[in-house]
Structure 1
Amino acid sequence: MPKMKLIFGFLVLYASLTRTHAADTISANQVVRYNQTIISPKETFELGFFNPGNSTNHYVGIWYKKISNRTVVWVANRNTPLRDNSSELTLTHQGILILRNATTGNVTWSSANSSTRSVRNPIGQLQDTGNFIIYEEGGVNNQEDPIWQSFDFMTDTLLPGMKHGKNLVTGIERHLTSWKSADDPASGEFSDWIDTRGYPQLIIRQAGEIMFRGGPWNGLWFTGTPNLKQNDFYHFTFVLNESEIYFQYNLIDTSALMRLVLQPSGRSEGLLWINRTQTWSLYTAPQIDRCDQYAVCGPSGICNINNSPFCLCLKGFEPRSPDQWRNTDWSQGCRRTIPLDCDPAEGFKKYTNLKLPDTQGSWYNQTMTLEECKEMCKRNCSCTAYTNSNISGTGSGCLLWFGDLIDIRTLSEDGDTLYIRMSASELESIENSRSSSAGRRVWVIVPVAFVVLVIIVSICLFYRFNRKKQQQQGTPGNESGPDPENRNGDEGLELPLFGLSTILKATNNFSINAKLGEGGFGPVYKISDFGMARTFGGNQIEANTNRVVGT
């Protein structure tokens, strides 16, 4: 009997060790049932059956293993829920995952439509990144180039290391789709894409219509989301080549837990796990204010959240529908005050700190200089704007727009520069406006400064003249005073001072009608009726009328 117990204990220990070693994998024809799970090597993630929220439906998904509040990051059968717990997950010899009812054999979900390569010995593995991959056992690089992976078929969550974008070789387009609700992981009405219809840009759609646009990647961040910058916590990567276009982020501190989630409300959120409170904390969100609503100011309108109202027309444009515009309906946008006619004298007006317009239908070249970009736009009469596609360093690349400029907003800082095509007469009008404004400033400043200078010199001369006159008319009674030579040394040390009441009366309480102008020394007033006297050195001198006084 002791011998049998020893053998049984050895078998249990062996089975336990075997299970621990293989807990992160599933082999061909191996079954995962309702009460079983697959756990990643470092126990970061877990794959199995679950019930979301208060729902009684069953799903196969992946969630964080060590978080008490179960947080699901991927769902296999999100649109085909299981009504009971009689289903099982199996990996076939063809390398296909299938979810089927154990009683009837009916297949509920399968990865067959996405797996095209034939295999002989497939292995399924859950990695510590949260990715479940299927690969051919025995190959050196097979895990790097899997037959199938869950990262290619996202649900509502973007994890570090995921590629958010399009594989131009396989045609797989990786995008996020929100849950319908916290209790229902079925595909909701919001989806998050890297739009490749032109220069790639980040967009969020609602039922097929764009509701938010993060803008194109400018070499540092998406132009409409400058708050999502490189930092000490995570860093971004954006790849654009002949094989693929994708955005990716990775954590610098790999022990931290962070996820980007497209919520059922359509709001995109970056959430960080806080161990102390055992909750997910909001770290960042690209949608901030009303100006983030797509095309809120219509074509050629520009949104500035610091203005009231916040929609304006670009310089050289006017509302298409003035009545609607006055009623805060900006959907019709703006049109050019002076239409373009492909005149060689047409040029470009420079705007700074902008969220770049919608890049659908745009054209780009990643090697051209800004000057080459300008010349190309000018030669094409349909080109309406241009800029660098990459603002890092000294700037590089070329990005051209054709037709209306849609969904522009001003940013307080870290915005992009845009050069908008203008008619020759409009450019001339802008230049004349600048010159006229500069001329008016010179016309006002120079005369006022001259008048102030004349006043100061006149007061000094007047005071000096009266001091000399007093000395010449001195009496014997004055001889007992200070020595005349000493008095001469005091000449010009003090200017006459006028009391506030005197000035108020002389200027009629600083009336606007008495004001001549304003310069670096302050306002200048004309004295129409001084009517007061001022004593200088014991002599009373009546002030003249129609003098000029500065304050």
Structure 2
Amino acid sequence: MSKIKLIFGFLTLYASILRTHAADTISANQILRYNQTITSPQETFELGFFSPPNSTNHYVGIWYKKISSGTVVWVANRNTPLTDTSGELTLTLQGVLILRDATKGNVVWSSTNSPTMSKKNPIGQLLDTGNFIVHEEGEGINQEDPVWQSFDFITDTLLPGMKQGWNLMTGLERRFTSWRSPNDPAFGEFSFWIDTRGYPQLILTKGREIKFRVGPWNGLRFSGMSNLRSNSLYNFTFVVNQREIYYQYNPIDTSIITRLVLQPSGRIERLVWIDSKQEWSLYMAAEIDHCNQYALCGPFGRCSIDKSPVCECLEGFQPTSPDQWRDTDWSQGCQHSVPLDCNPGEGFNKYLNLKLPDTRGSWYNHTMTLVECEQMCKSNCSCTAYANSNISGRGSGCFLWFGGLIDIRTIADDGDTIYIRLSASELESIEDSNSSSPGRRPIRIIVPMASVVLVILISIYLFYHFNRKKSNNRKV
């Protein structure tokens, strides 16, 4: 009898171990139903079926388990909700996740097209990062080359470790898109993504319309977001190479829970979980003020939020349409006060503390010096401006712009420096204007006066010294 109890005990323990091991996975041909979930090893995240507040639709998603229960970070069937609780999630032998409506018998959502070759033993596993990954059981987890992973299909939330951007080898784009409303996870109006036409830059779009351009990465931060800088909460990186282009962040202290969310309103928010208050706190938001409206001041126009009106032409430029400009219609922007004709005397004026212009259609090189950058721009008559692509250290790399410079704004504290092509006469005019400015006028006055005084003092000294010497000679 004791042997039977012992065997039964071992079987119970073994079954318990199996259940514990399987809690974070779904095996091939296993069915996950409405009242079932799988949980990451440390119970950080949970995957299963959910229904948003005030909604009768049902979805497969991932949410926080230990904290903020109900905060969904990923949704599978965003645009194809289930209308009842008859959904079934399965993993095929080909490593494909399939969501079926058991009542109607139709496929509601699948993870990808079936590969041509079957996997030996695929499993779906939920990690403590929030990533749901399909891989071969027993071969370890390779997030760089999985069969499939949820991190490659961002919804409205960017979690630590997610890559927002492009896999250039496969053509996969990872952008995050807002929910349609707080109660509807379907694709909303706003998308936040990396535009690779020219030098890669982050932009926020509403449909096809650009609403906000974060700007290019300058080696320290994005040019148009001076508040995104090194901090004690998280570190971040922006990678551009031949294989991939992406933005990624990770908490410095892993006990800190943070997420980046694109709200249905288009507002981009960095949220941090405050455990003592059991609530999410706003750490930072990408504020879209008047000057962050894309191309508000038109070509060669500069927006300054502390001025009224906010738009003005850069030095060396004048309104393209003076009447429209006076009516605060700045869409036509500005044009050169003295047109360019590719004259050898043309040069570049230095403009400080700016958000770099739109880099769509720009050219870049990360190894050139600023001198080489200037020479290349000057040798090309269609080149309108240049700048360092990396401002860290002493600066390096090269940006070249061609045509009108769009979406420039003043950033007082941490703006970038750009050199814009002007005619020789306009450069001379700006130099004369700067040298006669109140800040410089005293220098031009004081220097000559000091010279005169010095000459007088020397003359007095020589006169006195000569007469004294002459007097001494007479006495001798």
- TM-score between the two structures when normalised by the length of structure 2: 0.89
- What is the CA distance between 1:321 and its match in structure 2? 1.9
Quote the Cα distance in structure 1 between the aligned partners of 2:443 and 2:69: 72
Quote the Cα distance in structure 1 between the aligned partners of 2:106 and 2:414: 55
Residue aligning to 1:417: 417
Residue aligning to 1:381: 381
Residue aligning to 1:87: 87
- What is the CA distance between 1:144 and its match in structure 2? 4.6
Q: Which moved more, 1:88-97 or 1:280-289?
A: 280-289
Contact 1:117/1:147 (<8 A) preserved: no
Structure whose CA Rg is larger: 1
Query: CA 1:442/1:54 → structure 2, altered by over 3 Å: closer, same or farther?
Result: closer
- What is the CA distance between 1:256 and its match in structure 2? 1.2
Quote the Cα distance in structure 2 between the aligned partners of 1:201 and 1:35: 43
Structure 1 residue runs of 5 or longer lacking an equivalent are: 454-551
Quote the Cα distance in structure 2 between the aligned partners of 1:105 and 1:327: 62
Query: CA 1:52/1:6 → structure 2, altered by over 3 Å: closer, same or farther?
Result: farther
Query: CA 1:228/1:398 → structure 2, altered by over 3 Å: closer, same or farther?
Result: same
Residue aligning to 2:296: 296
Residue aligning to 1:131: 131
Residue aligning to 1:323: 323
Contact 1:59/1:75 (<8 A) preserved: yes
Query: CA 1:173/1:114 → structure 2, altered by over 3 Å: closer, same or farther?
Result: farther
Residue aligning to 2:474: none
Residue aligning to 2:98: 98
Residue aligning to 2:372: 372
Residues 135-534 of structure 1 aligned to structure 2 (within 5 Å): 135-140=135-140, 142=142, 144-437=144-437, 441=441
Query: CA 1:410/1:71 → structure 2, altered by over 3 Å: closer, same or farther?
Result: same
Amino acid at match of 1:163: K
Quote the Cα distance in structure 1 between the aligned partners of 2:445 and 2:140: 79
Contact 2:302/2:312 (<8 A) preserved: yes
Contact 2:223/2:415 (<8 A) preserved: yes
Paired positions, count: 450
Quote the Cα distance in structure 2 between the aligned partners of 1:57 and 1:141: 33
- What is the CA distance between 1:10 and its match in structure 2? 6.4
Contact 2:435/2:441 (<8 A) preserved: no
Contact 2:94/2:114 (<8 A) preserved: no
Quote the Cα distance in structure 2 between the aligned partners of 1:13 and 1:101: 36
- What is the CA distance between 1:16 and its match in structure 2? 3.3
Contact 1:136/1:142 (<8 A) preserved: no
Quote the Cα distance in structure 2 between the aligned partners of 1:12 and 1:34: 27
Contact 1:199/1:216 (<8 A) preserved: yes
Q: Which moved more, 1:282-291 or 1:253-262?
A: 282-291
Contact 1:271/1:283 (<8 A) preserved: yes
- What is the CA distance between 1:331 and its match in structure 2? 1.6
Contact 2:234/2:252 (<8 A) preserved: yes
Quote the Cα distance in structure 2 between the aligned partners of 1:272 and 1:236: 16
- What is the CA distance between 1:334 and its match in structure 2? 1.1
Q: Secondary structure of the residue that 1:371 maps to in structure 2?
A: helix
Quote the Cα distance in structure 2 between the aligned partners of 1:440 and 1:75: 61
Residue aligning to 2:36: 36
Residue aligning to 2:463: none
Query: CA 1:437/1:13 → structure 2, altered by over 3 Å: closer, same or farther?
Result: closer
Query: CA 1:5/1:443 → structure 2, altered by over 3 Å: closer, same or farther?
Result: closer
Contact 2:220/2:229 (<8 A) preserved: yes
Q: Which string of whole-angstrom CA distances, capped at 9 and with x for unpartnered residues, describes residues 19-77 of structure 1?
A: 11211111110111000001001111000000112111000000001124411000000
Q: Which string of whole-angstrom CA distances, capped at 9 and with x for unpartnered residues, describes residues 478-507 of structure 1?
A: xxxxxxxxxxxxxxxxxxxxxxxxxxxxxx
2:59 equivalent to 1:65: no
Quote the Cα distance in structure 2 between the aligned partners of 1:441 and 1:114: 75
Quote the Cα distance in structure 2 between the aligned partners of 1:115 and 1:382: 48
Structure 2 residue runs of 5 or longer lacking an equivalent are: 454-476
Quote the Cα distance in structure 1 between the aligned partners of 2:383 and 2:65: 53
Residue aligning to 2:470: none
Quote the Cα distance in structure 2 between the aligned partners of 1:222 and 1:436: 35
Query: CA 1:208/1:11 → structure 2, altered by over 3 Å: closer, same or farther?
Result: same
Query: CA 1:381/1:120 → structure 2, altered by over 3 Å: closer, same or farther?
Result: same
- TM-score between the two structures when normalised by the length of structure 1: 0.78
Q: Secondary structure of the residue that 2:172 maps to in structure 1?
A: coil
Contact 2:219/2:391 (<8 A) preserved: yes
Q: Secondary structure of the residue that 1:21 maps to in structure 2?
A: helix
Quote the Cα distance in structure 1 between the aligned partners of 2:426 and 2:116: 59
Q: Secondary structure of the residue that 2:276 maps to in structure 1?
A: coil
Q: Secondary structure of the residue that 2:253 maps to in structure 1?
A: coil
Amino acid at match of 1:76: A
- What is the CA distance between 1:173 and its match in structure 2? 0.5
Quote the Cα distance in structure 2 between the aligned partners of 1:383 and 1:114: 48
Quote the Cα distance in structure 2 between the aligned partners of 1:252 and 1:81: 37
Residue aligning to 1:16: 16
Quote the Cα distance in structure 1 between the aligned partners of 2:7 and 2:32: 28
Q: Which string of whole-angstrom CA distances, capped at 9 and with x for unpartnered residues, describes residues 334-363 of structure 1?
A: 111111111111100101111100000000
Quote the Cα distance in structure 2 between the aligned partners of 1:234 and 1:244: 22
Amino acid at match of 1:74: W
Contact 1:115/1:148 (<8 A) preserved: no
Query: CA 1:116/1:294 → structure 2, altered by over 3 Å: closer, same or farther?
Result: farther
Quote the Cα distance in structure 1 between the aligned partners of 2:233 and 2:283: 11
- What is the CA distance between 1:119 and its match in structure 2? 1.9
Residue aligning to 1:474: none
Quote the Cα distance in structure 1 between the aligned partners of 2:184 and 2:439: 67
Quote the Cα distance in structure 1 between the aligned partners of 2:341 and 2:79: 53
- What is the CA distance between 1:120 and its match in structure 2? 2.1
- What is the CA distance between 1:424 and its match in structure 2? 1.3
Q: Which has the higher contact order (CA 8 A, sep 6+)?
A: 2
Q: Secondary structure of the residue that 2:414 maps to in structure 1?
A: coil
